[in-house]
């Protein structure tokens, strides 16, 4: 069956023809389908489509509209977001056309970075959504307290302290199944304690086979994943609280059609500690200190998981990423304002080596390339943020931060390669013309600034204006990657400059009894944008000037006592000195219609994406991406306060499609596919038991 081509105009027409359907004006309890989103600081819980100040809150207890293979995949349900697929695992979140180090991903106050140069394992790979109580998405740069950068936005995963009522224990068990890939998931989250302390233990397991796309072609996407963790918290005094946590994630053999290798393992372990003191009197509200450490080890090859190479020798990449840091933060409350200030530190060491394995016996005989030549990056920062109430209708937000960035590649002069004379520095010099480079290193001092004004225009209408300046430092791959494999080169640029993002955003949103809507427009002017490009047989990096612009629209409507609907529409466009920016979604929309009766509900979801004509052949698949239309149906049923079930059919019409934000297909066993296609029809069910 051919794939439908949805044009920009078609999606606009279909989206706005649905508005009359949403015009009824009756009160109904909202159906929490997919991932719950709150209007932060405005109302408690509303339909998932409305966003205040572009801050989106997601609850892991909310019902689903479609199955999830990976934590990163869930962000496709948020207007203005998507996720890049390379296989069944390791979805890369994208906010308004920005991803990777342009998004800060924070887990209980901690950072953790991927260990694969090809980003088969973005940070969300090591996060098990089943145990998290709250996920907050901040679109764009709206605060200086969550670290440097974050021009695309910030994603925060949080475990919350359990509250015990009649019993001194509570828990949640879940199990799920997805047809097509025959994926099985199991999870447990149990806590016990009192008013002054607790212990929480959680674990999850996922096992998935390959899935078939809409044409019935097998997509290599099988994986196995186990994770566990424990958190312990204690009130040392009525004013002091201490918390410790340990977490680990073990990802076994994972297949990646969007990469030349499959993953043998990708394992992480992390430790976090927090201390908090709340003041009874005076202007200081609290003082908080947190420290963290997270280590990731990763092995990929092209022969042991699947023999993708007919040659007698194989290639393998062994990598590691070790991250540690901490933050001290305090808050002062005055009569009409509050001031939050602090300091933070972030360190990351990365090492990656490409080996030739003679005979494919796992001995990793010859070092071919020092992909990451023992890269060390350090970031020291200080920040202050001031929220001032101008009057009953207006609030001013200002923030300033300053960061000192240091980076070096310690082994860039080490000789590697079978010819005995290759070094990473030689590659940098050959492709960029550097002279007397020595041990490559860089230092910079970078500012960050936020200025916002929120105005209450009427009882239901609010306007939020946000201006910001943020600085995004080059990552280890962009600076120092050094790969030479059979005449194909991938080489970082040690003299890249720090990106400077100057952003403006206007958001108008309304909340009424039965109708909620918001519309946002944004522009990001970028100086020294780090652009990945191709030259002959090499992949290289350079600084250019660029901008990203776009808009988002969200609407939710209560149609009757039992019927509700929602609409989300988003568009982004990125243009640089050298042409289109890569990995930016076309116009997309999502429509939901939900019917609810007491303890059960039924819903339909339509997802539309227009044809993407604006692409970067050096980053994207070198051709236009066809549009598509999807239909999902989903339901939920609550037997009693302890048992809950969800089920549905995703891609009901079995369309064959792929998102534009995607990887080119590199799977030798499926040579006809252009991109990594999405699954065909999937039947799914998930059962929950709480106590």
Domain enclosing residue 553, as ranges: 8-690
Find residue 588's DSSP bridge partners.
570, 609
Q: Which of 25-34, 150-159, 210-219, 323-332 has the lowest mean pLDDT?
A: 25-34
- pLDDT category of residue 59 using cuts at 50, 70 and 90: low
DSSP state of 617: T
**Residue 585 domain-assigned (yes or no):** yes
Range of weakest confidence among 86-90, 268-272, 353-357, 530-534: 86-90
Rounded to whole angstroms, the Cα distance separating 190 from 188 reads 7
Give the pLDDT of residue 18.
43
* Residue 33 is assigned to a structural domain of this protein: yes
> Each residue of 634-646: pLDDT tens digit?
999 999 999 999 9
Give the integer Cα–Cα distance in Å for 83 and 99: 9
The domain total for the chain is 1
Nearest to 365 by CA among 412, 415, 413, 418: 418
> Given this model, what pLDDT does residue 416 score?
82
What was the pLDDT predicted at 130?
87
Higher-confidence residue of 602 and 487: namely: 602
Instruction: Look at residue 580 and tell me if it is in a domain.
Output: yes
Domain assignment present for residue 443? The answer is: yes
Higher pLDDT pick, 190 / 54: 190
The H or E element spanning position 424 is: helix 424-432
Q: Give the CATH number for residue 124.
A: 2.40.170.20
Residue 6's pLDDT band (cuts 50, 70, 90): low
* pLDDT for residue 166: 86
Is residue 488 over pLDDT 50? yes
Instruction: Give the tokens for residue 536.
Output: 């002959």
Average pLDDT for 601-622: 94
Tell me the mean pLDDT in the region 76-83. 95
> What's the confidence (pLDDT) of residue 8?
47
Q: What is the mean pLDDT of residues 574-590?
A: 96
With 50 as the cut, is the pLDDT of residue 13 above it?
Answer: no
260-279: pLDDT as tens digits: 899 999 999 999 999 999 99
| Cα gap 426→416, rounded to integer Å | 11
Q: Is residue 578 part of a domain?
A: yes
Confidence of residue 50 (pLDDT cuts 50, 70, 90): very low
Question: Average of pLDDT values for 583-610?
Answer: 96
3 in a domain, yes or no?
A: no
* Distance from the Cα of residue 535 to its chain's centroid: 30
Q: What percent of the chain has pLDDT over 90?
A: 80
With cut-offs at 50, 70 and 90, classify the pLDDT of residue 62: low
In a domain, 2, yes or no: no
Answer whether residue 56 is part of any domain: yes
* Residue 487 banded pLDDT, cuts 50, 70, 90: confident
Section 528-553 average pLDDT: 96
Q: Where does the pLDDT of residue 419 fall: very low under 50, low under 70, confident under 90, or very high at 90 and above?
A: low
Intra-chain end-to-end CA distance of the chain, in Å: 47
Per-residue b or e along 99-126, where b marks 16 or more CB atoms closer than 10 Å to that residue's CB: bbbbbbbbbbbbbbbbbbbbbbbbbbbb
pLDDT for residue 353: 96
Q: Which two tokens stand for residue 519?
A: 């519309």
**Nearest by Cα to 670 from 208, 83, 210, 1:** 210
Total length of the chain: 691
Could you give the CA distance from residue 549 to residue 504 in angstroms, rounded to a whole number?
10
Give the least confident one: 34-48, 397-411, 525-539.
34-48
Is the model's pLDDT at 555 over the cut of 60?
A: yes
Structure confidence by residue, pLDDT tens digits, 214-235: 999 999 999 999 999 999 999 9
Mean pLDDT of 514-539: 96
Residue 538: is its pLDDT beyond 70?
A: yes
Q: Give the pLDDT score at 308.
A: 83
DSSP assignment string, 653-688: T------SSB-B---TT-TT-SB-PPP--EEEEEEE
What is the average per-residue pLDDT within 402-427?
A: 87
The answer, yes or no, to whether residue 492 has pLDDT greater than 80, is yes
For 32, half-sphere exposure in the C-beta direction (CA atoms, 13 angstrom radius) is 16
Query: Given a cut of 60, is residue 14 above it in pLDDT?
Result: no
**Mean pLDDT score, 491-508:** 97
Computed over every residue of the chain, the mean pLDDT equals 90
Give mean pLDDT, residues 621-630: 94
Q: Is the pLDDT score of 83 beyond 90?
A: yes
**pTM recorded for the entire structure:** 0.91
pLDDT greater than 80 at residue 53: no
């Amino acid at each position: 069956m051919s794939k439908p081509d949805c044009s920009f105009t078609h999606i606009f027409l279909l989206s706005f023809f649905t508005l009359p359907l949403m015009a009824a004006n009756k009160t109904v309890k909202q159906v929490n389908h997919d991932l719950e989103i709150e209007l932060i600081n405005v109302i408690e819980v509303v339909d998932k489509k409305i966003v205040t100040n572009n801050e989106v809150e997601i609850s892991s207890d909310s019902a689903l509209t479609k199955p999830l293979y990976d934590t990163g995949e869930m962000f496709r349900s948020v207007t203005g977001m998507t996720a890049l697929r390379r296989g069944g695992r390791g979805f890369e979140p994208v906010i308004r056309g920005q991803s990777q180090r342009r998004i800060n991903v924070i887990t209980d106050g901690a950072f953790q970075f991927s260990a694969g140069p090809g980003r088969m394992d973005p940070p969300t790979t090591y996060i098990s959504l089943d145990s998290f109580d709250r996920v907050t998405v901040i679109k764009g740069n709206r605060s200086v307290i969550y670290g440097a950068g974050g021009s695309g936005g910030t994603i925060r995963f949080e475990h919350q302290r359990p509250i015990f009522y009649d019993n001194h224990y509570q828990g949640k068990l879940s199990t799920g199944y997805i047809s097509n890939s025959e994926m099985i998931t199991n999870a447990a989250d149990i806590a016990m304690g009192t008013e002054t302390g607790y212990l929480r233990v959680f674990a999850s397991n996922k096992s998935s086979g390959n899935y078939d796309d809409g044409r019935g072609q097998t997509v290599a996407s099988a994986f196995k994943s186990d994770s566990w963790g424990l958190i312990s918290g204690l009130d040392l005094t009525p004013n002091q609280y201490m918390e410790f946590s340990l977490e680990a994630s073990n990802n076994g053999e994972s297949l990646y059609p969007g990469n030349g290798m499959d993953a043998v393992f990708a394992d992480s372990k992390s430790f976090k500690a927090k201390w908090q003191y709340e003041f009874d009197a005076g202007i200081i509200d609290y003082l908080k200190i947190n420290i963290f450490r997270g280590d990731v080890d990763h092995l990929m090859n092209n022969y042991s998981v699947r023999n993708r190479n007919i040659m007698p020798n194989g290639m393998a990449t062994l990598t590691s990423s070790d991250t540690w840091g901490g933050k001290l933060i305090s808050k002062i409350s005055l009569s009409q304002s509050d001031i939050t200030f602090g300091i933070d530190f972030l360190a990351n060491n990365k090492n990656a080596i490409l080996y030739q394995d003679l005979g494919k016996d796992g001995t990793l005989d010859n070092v071919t390339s020092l992909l990451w030549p023992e890269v060390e990056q350090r970031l020291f920062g200080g920040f202050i943020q001031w929220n001032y109430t101008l009057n009953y209708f207006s609030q001013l937000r200002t923030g300033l931060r300053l960061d000192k960035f240091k980076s070096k590649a310690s082994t860039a002069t080490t000789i590697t390669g079978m010819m005995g004379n290759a070094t990473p520095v030689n590659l940098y010099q050959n492709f960029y013309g550097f002279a007397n480079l020595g041990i490559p290193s860089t230092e910079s001092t970078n500012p960050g600034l936020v200025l916002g004004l929120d105005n209450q225009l009427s009882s239901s209408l609010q306007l939020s204006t946000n201006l910001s300046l943020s600085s995004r430092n080059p990552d280890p791959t962009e600076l120092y990657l050094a790969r030479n494999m059979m005449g194909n080169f991938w080489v970082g640029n040690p003299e890249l400059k720090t990106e400077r993002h100057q952003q403006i955003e206007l958001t108008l949103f309304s909340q009424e009894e039965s109708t909620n809507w918001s519309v946002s427009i944004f522009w990001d002017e970028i100086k020294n944008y780090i652009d990945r490009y191709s030259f002959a047989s090499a992949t290289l990096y350079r600084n250019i000037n660029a901008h990203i612009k776009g808009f988002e629209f969200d609407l939710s409507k209560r149609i009757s006592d039992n019927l509700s609907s929602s609409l989300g529409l988003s568009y982004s466009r990125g243009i640089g000195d050298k042409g289109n920016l890569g990995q930016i979604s076309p116009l997309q929309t999502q429509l939901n219609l939900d019917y609810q009766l007491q303890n059960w509900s039924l819903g339909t979801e339509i997802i539309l994406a227009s044809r993407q004509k604006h692409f970067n052949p050096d980053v994207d698949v070198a051709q236009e991406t066809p549009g598509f239309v999807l239909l999902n149906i989903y339901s939920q049923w609550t037997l009693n306060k302890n048992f809950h079930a969800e089920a549905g059919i995703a891609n009901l019409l079995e369309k064959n499609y792929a998102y534009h934000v995607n990887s080119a297909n590199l799977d030798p066993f499926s040579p006809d596919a252009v991109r990594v296609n999405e699954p065909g029809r999937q039947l799914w069910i998930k059962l929950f038991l709480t106590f």
